[in-house]
Amino acid sequence: MYEQESHALLNDILTKLRPELGNTHTRHFYTRLGANFYAIHSLFYLLYGEREDFKQQLSSLVETLALRYVQRAPHLRESDMAREKNYNWFLSQKWVGMALYCDRFADNLNDLQTKLPYLQDLGINLLHVMPILDCPPEASDGGYAVRNYLEVDARFGSTDDVQALATTLTQRDMLLVLDVVVNHTSDQHEWAKRARQGDKKYQDYYYVFDNRSLPDAYEQGMPEVFPLQAPGNFTWDEAMGKWVMTVFNAYQWDLNYRNPEVLIEMINVILFWANKGVDVLRLDAVAFLWKKIGSSCQNEREAHLLLQLMKDCCQVTAPGVLFIAEAIVAPSEVSKYFGEDAINAKECEIAYNATFMALLWDAVATKNARLLNQGVKSLPTKLERATWLNYVRCHDDIGLGFDDRDISLAGYDPHQHRNFLIEYFTGRFEGSPARGLPFGVNRKTGDARFTGSLASLVGLESALQSQDEQTIDAAIKTIVLLHSMILSFGGIPLIYYGDALGTLNDMAYMTDPFKANDNRWAHRSHFDWAKAEKRHQSGTVEHTLFSTMKKLIALRKELVAFADFDNRQLLSVNNLNLLAFLRTDPKNSHNKVLVVGNFSTEAQRFEIDPLSSCTLFMHHDVKDLVAGTRLELDKHSLLIPPLSFYWLSE
């Protein structure tokens, strides 16, 4: 069980009963092991109970937990205890995140420390440093093809540099997020090399086959993640003389979690990085962890059991460390990554809200909020002690991951509507200002996704080229509007590194042979520090964007109603250009903030149903929290300017 509260309580009781116990170094480890062992054993048995070496494997797992606990530094153990007591700490509105590449935003990990003032200027206090572990430079998938899990890529620095960064961040009250790529390794990883040399032990770390018969059976249910650059889910390895499962790129070998040794290795890696001072671990591609013939090999029940085990084990050794689930899956599946039938997250405390992200993009293209309202209405409910990672852009492509049923309910034909969105964002739709690039186009299934930087996707790139003031203004407003939504929705907002300055696509990747076949690099550009300087120069795009975002971030941190305690109520609007929701302070229900966004290019009237529970519009005016002024209401209604939003209170 997830037992943070009971750990803290039990430890308190024990200290009072026998104060001398307080000095023993491993007491807290045993408390936590005691509280979690029933769950760990049951889960491990469900997955591996049939094996003859079951007991031996289980004891190797416990040994891993104990060894990593012994190595855990005193200050981290203290932070664990503090977080156990204050277990809702991460649900606070005070966290605002940014994802960046340490070698693109700075030179390397050390240099990144000198760049923290920029982040703090904006108000960022949660830093996701994109993957930094050792990868073959020619086949890295941007850091997601790991050759050695315990070593930092020499180009970025060393493990000591990570520790130094973690220390600096803690001093500044900032959190560090790092990736653990749990689903696959590089084909240059030691395990893969040994497998290739014929070592059976390591062949069993992967899905390896002598001939096509099982791969063909698997293929029947498996979609392709990269249909163009890496078609199919298996790769023939000449040296090994066998087929190996490679769901992503051909050089990324999928790990075989039917083998408990793989799980134990990965838990060891998780705890290794926890011990380096990382606060939050982003577990990559978690939906793919378990493969079963006849299924799509995504979201399998066993994938959830594995995540529960990872969480339970982390609770024992490093209970202050949180997990983010990167599961870009259907809305009905995603909330399962928090764990089911619980109040507390039993798998990952945080999950990417890819559905909300995709819905926001729909509103950008359609210039209305029909599907956005419908999709938010059917967002799955989540656990109390779990939260979303809300984002507009990240390092990956954008998939239209909402339900066909919601598209129909919004009044569109799903197939046509999806086609329209792809055409729109790749700029092929008549009049579209977007400059996105098609990604993952699958001719067999008709599926497609797209890439591109936020600014290029909302039309800033084309507007700057044509020097059209009105369209430049519309693009800026759209960027702000999108961020106003992720900052207020409930959850941790994660801003992508160039977006507060309006960074455009950068096509330089095309001349790099190791990147040219993957256009996600168009929006992974080197951070332009000269451009960043323009944030101080009023009248520039950079200044408008940066100063507005900075203000919104600061305001979010003050609004307790924006903390995530399932305190959001979607308001039904009779004008579907608008999305409106009410956020309520969990401790004081009189303290409410009404958020309303207008996605249309025309001003729109917002009326509140007098029967709704929202009494905000009963008076003759409301407070505009961003401008700090009061707005006159006209017969209980308010006019919302084009592509704008309000955060309102009494």
Site for ligand GLC, rule CB under 6 A: 141-142, 144, 181, 225, 248, 284-285, 326, 328, 395-397, 399, 440
> What is the spatial distance between Cα 556 and Cα 538, in angstroms, rounded to a whole number?
23
Give 534's contacts (C-beta < 8 A, 6+ positions apart).
Answer: 501, 540, 541, 542, 543
Residue nearest to ligand GLC (CB): 144
326 is catalytic: yes
Instruction: Identify which of residues 49 and 446 has a Cβ nearer to ligand GLC in the complex.
Output: 446
The answer to whether the CB of 116 falls within 8 A of the CB of 123 is: no
Q: Measured from the CB of residue 329, what is the shortest distance to ligand GLC in angstroms?
A: 7
Kindly tell me the burial class for residue 493, based on how many C-beta atoms sit within 10 Å of its own C-beta (0-12, 13-18, 19 or more): buried
Structure tokens of 273?
Answer: 């990085």
Q: Measured from the CB of residue 228, what is the shortest distance to ligand GLC in angstroms?
A: 12
The answer to whether the CB of 287 falls within 8 A of the CB of 330 is: no
Q: Measured from the CB of residue 353, what is the shortest distance to ligand GLC in angstroms?
A: 14
Q: What is the DSSP string of 399-444?
A: ---S-HHHHHHTTS-HHHHHHHHHHHHTT-STT-----EEES--TT
Kindly tell me the burial class for residue 531, based on how many C-beta atoms sit within 10 Å of its own C-beta (0-12, 13-18, 19 or more): middle
Check the CA dihedral 586-589-590-592 and report its sign: positive
Instruction: Identify which of residues 98 and 328 has a Cβ nearer to ligand GLC in the complex.
Output: 328
Q: Measured from the CB of residue 196, what is the shortest distance to ligand GLC in angstroms?
A: 20
Instruction: Identify which of residues 362 and 396 has a Cβ nearer to ligand GLC in the complex.
Output: 396
The answer to whether the CB of 244 falls within 8 A of the CB of 253 is: yes
E strands of 534-640, at which residues?
Answer: 568-570, 578-584, 592-598, 604-607, 621-624, 629-632, 637-640
Of 326, 349, 396, 423, catalytic: 326
Pick from 65, 527, 419, 404: which is nearest to 266 by CA?
A: 65
Instruction: Identify which of residues 333 and 650 has a Cβ nearer to ligand GLC in the complex.
Output: 333
One-letter amino acid at 312 equals: D
Instruction: Identify which of residues 237 and 326 has a Cβ nearer to ligand GLC in the complex.
Output: 326
Q: Measured from the CB of residue 576, what is the shortest distance to ligand GLC in angstroms?
A: 28
Give 353's contacts (C-beta < 8 A, 6+ positions apart).
Answer: 334, 388, 389, 390, 391, 489, 491
> What is the spatial distance between Cα 358 and Cα 15, in angstroms, rounded to a whole number?
50
Q: Measured from the CB of residue 218, what is the shortest distance to ligand GLC in angstroms?
A: 17
The answer to whether the CB of 605 falls within 8 A of the CB of 595 is: no
Instruction: Identify which of residues 285 and 480 has a Cβ nearer to ligand GLC in the complex.
Output: 285
Instruction: Identify which of residues 103 and 397 has a Cβ nearer to ligand GLC in the complex.
Output: 397
Q: Measured from the CB of residue 502, what is the shortest distance to ligand GLC in angstroms?
A: 23
Q: What is the DSSP string of 251-284?
A: TEEEB-TTSHHHHHHHHHHHHHHHTTT-SEEEET
Cα–Cα separations (whole angstroms), residue 74 to 20, 78, 277 = 18, 6, 11
Q: Measured from the CB of residue 71, what is the shortest distance to ligand GLC in angstroms?
A: 28
> What is the spatial distance between Cα 530 and Cα 537, in angstroms, rounded to a whole number?
12
Instruction: Identify which of residues 320 and 401 has a Cβ nearer to ligand GLC in the complex.
Output: 401
Q: Is 564 helix (H, G, I), strand (E, B) or coil?
A: coil
> What is the spatial distance between Cα 493 and Cα 487, in angstroms, rounded to a whole number?
6
Which ranges of 493-540 would DSSP assign to H, the alpha helix? 529-533
Q: Measured from the CB of residue 142, what is the shortest distance to ligand GLC in angstroms?
A: 6
Q: Measured from the CB of residue 141, what is the shortest distance to ligand GLC in angstroms?
A: 5
Q: Which residue has the tokens 């801003």?
A: 495
What is the number of other CB atoms lying within 10 angstroms of the CB of residue 638? 22
Of 84, 141, 284, 499, catalytic: 284
**Cα 485 to the chain's mean position, in Å?**
16
Q: Is 371 helix (H, G, I), strand (E, B) or coil?
A: helix
Q: Measured from the CB of residue 199, what is the shortest distance to ligand GLC in angstroms?
A: 25
**Residue 470 φ/ψ, nearest 5 degrees:** -65, -40
Instruction: Identify which of residues 181 and 614 has a Cβ nearer to ligand GLC in the complex.
Output: 181
Structure tokens of 589?
Answer: 């229900």
> What is the spatial distance between Cα 400 and Cα 404, in angstroms, rounded to a whole number?
10
Instruction: Identify which of residues 181 and 475 has a Cβ nearer to ligand GLC in the complex.
Output: 181
Instruction: Identify which of residues 499 and 585 has a Cβ nearer to ligand GLC in the complex.
Output: 499
Give me the active site residues, please.
Answer: 284, 326
